[in-house]
Chains A and B, each alone.
Chain A
Amino acid sequence: MTASILLPPALPLFLGAALLTIARGRLRAAVMLLAPLVALAMVWLVPDTNAGITGFLGYDLIIVRGDRLSRWFGTVFAIMAFAGGLFALNQESRLEAVAAQVYAGGALGVVFAGDLLTTFVFWEIMALASTVVVWSAGGASRAAGFRYLLIHLLGGVLLMIGSAGEAQATGSLAFNVMAPDTAARWLILAGFLINAGAPPLSAWIPDAYPQSSYSGMVVLSAFTTKTAVYVLLRGFPGAEVLIWVGLYMVFYGIVYAILENDMRRILAYSIVNQVGFMVAGIGIGTELALNGAASHAFAHIVYKALLLMSAGSVLYMTGKSKCTELGGLFRSMPLTAISGIVGALAISAFPLTSGFVTKSMISDAAGQERLMLVWFLLAAGSAGVFLHAGIKFPWFVFFQRDSGLRPSDPPVNMRAAMLLFSFLCILLGVAPGVLYRWLPFGASYEPYTADHVVTQLQLLLFSGLAFFMLLGLLRRTPTVTLDFDWLYRRAGVALASGVTRAAHVAWRNFAAGMRGMVDEILSGISILARRGILARAQDSGTMAMVAVAMLAVYLVVEFVR
C-alpha cells in the first residue's frame, strides 16, 4: 500500500468545522469565512493529476483527482461555502455552523473523488451533515429531517450496491464515464438521481429544505443537488434516459411551484426545475450541452442562493414565509427586494444576468442535435421559470398587496452576502468570458447575438404578460399540494398501522386459541392422571400378564423379520 501526498481541498473545511465546535465571537466568524477561502485556494492549486492510495484492500483509491470539471465545481462550492458562512454569521445555532462546513467539505470531497468508494464516503458525509443542518432549526424540522435522512440513506445504499457490483464486474473502483448497461450501473445511476431530486422521489427537497433555518436553506440549496449534477456529468453523459427525467423535473417544478404558497417551498420546487434543465443537458450529451449543464449549475448555485438569502432575510425579519401573509415589503426592505429581483432575473435567464449565458447552451445543443420535441419543451420550460419563480417570488413577497409589515433590511453580514451574489449574477451575465475561459468541455459559445437577445426577451416578457393576465388564477391559497411523498407520509403509515393492528388482533386470537388448546390438553392429562387407566393401582398378577403379552408380541415380530 502506497500513498501519494496531495491535500484534498475539503480538508480546511473539515478542520474549520472542528474548530467551530469550540470557537466563539471573532474567531468563529474568522473560521466561517477563512476556511472556505483556503479551500478555494486549494481547489485552484490542485494540478491535473490523480493522488491517493494504491492497493487498499486490492483497489486503488483516488482521493484527489484534478481536472477542469472537478475544479469547476470545486470553485463554485468553495465560493458558496464562503457566502453561506457570511450570510450565517449571526446564526446562533452552533450546530448549524459546524454541520454546514462539514457539508460543504463533503461536497468538495465528492467533486475531487476519483473512485466510487471515496465518492460514496463523502456522499454519506454530505447526507449526514445536511440532515444535521435541517435538524438544527429544531421544531418541525425533526420529522422532515428524518424523512430526508431516510431518502438519502436509501440513495447511499443503492450507490453502495451498485459500486460493489461494478467493482466485482470490472475489478476496479475507478469512477469514469459509464453507460447504464448493467444492473450495477443502473443502481449507481439511481443513487445519483435520488440526490438530484429526480422522480418519483423529488418531494424531499420541498419537504425538508424549507424546514431548515433562514440561513440553513441557503447552503442546503447548493450542495446536494449540484454534486448529483456533477456525478451525472462525470459518470453518465449522453445517457438518453436523463433527457426525459430532466424534462419531467422541469415541468414538475413549475407546476408545483405555481400551486405553492410558502415562498421557500416555491424556491425549493424551483431547484428541482432548474436541476431538470441540467439533467436534460447531460442526457443530450454533446460538448455544448455538457458545458451548458456545468455552467448552468455554476450560475444556478449563485442565483438560487441569492434568492434564498432574500427569502431568508424576509423570514429572519418577519418570521413569516407564506405568500398569503406577505406582500409590499419593497418599501422597508429595498436591498432585500432588489437582491431578490436580481436573483429572479438571473434564474429567468434575462440578458445581462448569469442565467442567460448558461441555460441557452442546453437548448441550443438540443437544436443542433435536431431534438425538436426536447427543444420546444425546454423553451416552454424557460417561459415557465419566469412565471413560477421569476415573477411569482418577488411579486407575492415584495409587491402584491400591502401586508402592513414594515421590517427593515437584515443585519450587515446578510446584506453583504446578498450584495456579493447580486454582483456575481450580473458579472457573469455581463462578462461571460470570465466563466467561459474555464469551461470543462471543449465547445465554445456566443450568447450575445441580436437574435438570441430579442427572442429571449420576447419569450420572457410575454410570459410576464401571461402572469399578470392570469393573476386571478394564480392567487395564493393556504394549501399544500400532494406529491409522491404522500405514499410514505400517509398511505405507508396507514398501511403500516393497519398491518400492525391486524397482526395484533390475529396474534391475540391465535394466543387465545393456543391457550385454550393447551388448557384442554392439560385438563385431559390431569383427568388421566387422576382417574385414568394408568393412574389406577394394579395388582402384580395383571402386570405379569401384560409383561408376558409384550414379550410374545416382541418374539412374533422378531420371528417374522
Chain B
Amino acid sequence: MSSLHPFTVRTALILCVVCFVILALTVIAEFFIYRHGQFGIDESFCFNAWYGFVACVALVAVSRLIGLVLKRPDTYYDR
C-alpha cells in the first residue's frame, strides 16, 4: 500500500473514523427508541449488532471450509 498517495491514506483514515462514528450512533440510538421483539432475546441490548456481526463471521468461516473442499481453478471445466 506504500505506492498510494498520502491523500488517499488520509481519506481512508477519515472514512474509517466516520464509519466507526456511525456504528456507535446506531448503538446509541437504541437508548432512545422502544424496542419490540418476538422472542425475548431479540429485544436484548444491541442484539442486531452482535447477531449481524457473528452471523457474517460464521458465514465466512463456513464458506472458507466449503471452499477448501470444493474450490477448483476457474479453468476446471474447460479441460
Contacts and interface: CB of A to CB of B under 8 A. Distances in A.
Interface of A: 251, 254-255, 258-259, 261-262, 322, 367-368, 370, 372, 375, 379-380, 383-384, 386-388, 450-451, 454-467, 470, 473-474, 477-483, 489-490
Contacts of B62: 255
A490 B60 CA distance: 27
A479 B59 contact: no
A384 B51 contact: no
* Chain B, interface SS category: helix
Nearest to A388: B59
A450 B72 contact: no
Given A254-B59, A258-B60, A480-B77, A463 B53 contact: yes
A461 B70 CA distance: 30
Chain B interface category by residue count? 35 or more
Contacts of B46: 458
Contact of A463 (B19, B22, B55, B76): B55
B38 interface: yes
Interface of B: 19, 22-23, 26-27, 29-30, 32-39, 42, 46-53, 55-60, 62-64, 66-67, 70-74, 76-77
Given A379-B52, A380-B59, 12 more contacts: A258-B59, A383-B55, A386-B56, A451-B34, A461-B22, A465-B53, A466-B60, A477-B71, A479-B74, A480-B71, A489-B77, A490-B77
9 contacts: A255-B59, A261-B74, A372-B38, A380-B51, A380-B58, A383-B51, A451-B33, A454-B33, A490-B77
Contacts, number: 138
Nearest to A457: B26
Nearest to A481: B70
Contacts of A455: 35, 47-48
Contacts of B29: 454, 457
Contact of A255 (B26, B48, B63, B76): B63
Q: Which of A375, A459, A462, A480 has the most CB of B within 10 A?
A: A462
A478 B78 CA distance: 14
Contacts of A368: 38
Nearest to B71: A479
A450 B34 contact: yes
Contact of A462 (B34, B53, B74): B53
